[in-house]
Amino acid sequence: MKVLAGSLLVTAALAAAQPASAETKTYIDGIGAMKCSAIAVGLKDEPAKAANAILGWTYGYMARRNMERSAAGKPYAQYGEGSADRILNTINGFCSDKENAEARLFQIADTLYSIFLEATPVA
């Protein structure tokens, strides 16, 4: 159920973040720029290799977000036990849907970070 709720939140957040014009072209590279279509293939064809790369990049990205928030005196996200499975299951579930083929990993990581941040207890 948590994976489904996470996938729905990712879907809603990415729909709101789509560019206004299809003519706008941005060329970026790296794991964070991977499209869901490539992520789904990687997780199917080489699950361990793809999972390691995706989780490593996503955790690094979220750690950077935490460092920025901490340096600004703001609360930061805590991921909790089982977060690797939750992250990977959410990304895999979201990217398995062909309608999400164009979404990029950095967009999903942003949304996942927001979900973790909202779930983090305020001290």
Beta-bridge partners for 104: 35
19-36 confidence digits (pLDDT tens): 555 566 666 678 999 999
Percent of the chain with pLDDT over 70: 76
pTM recorded for the entire structure: 0.75
Percent of the chain with pLDDT over 90: 67
Higher pLDDT, 18 or 81: 81
Kindly report which listed range (14-23, 30-39, 47-56) carries the lowest average pLDDT score.
14-23
* pLDDT score of 1: 46
Tokens 């979201």 sit on residue? 94
- Residue 11 CA: distances (Å) to CA of 4, 7, 42, 100, 123: 10, 6, 20, 8, 30
* pLDDT score of 111: 93
- Residue 90 and residue 10 in contact, taking contact as beta carbons nearer than 8 Å: yes
Kindly report which listed range (10-19, 35-44, 46-55, 69-78) carries the lowest average pLDDT score.
10-19
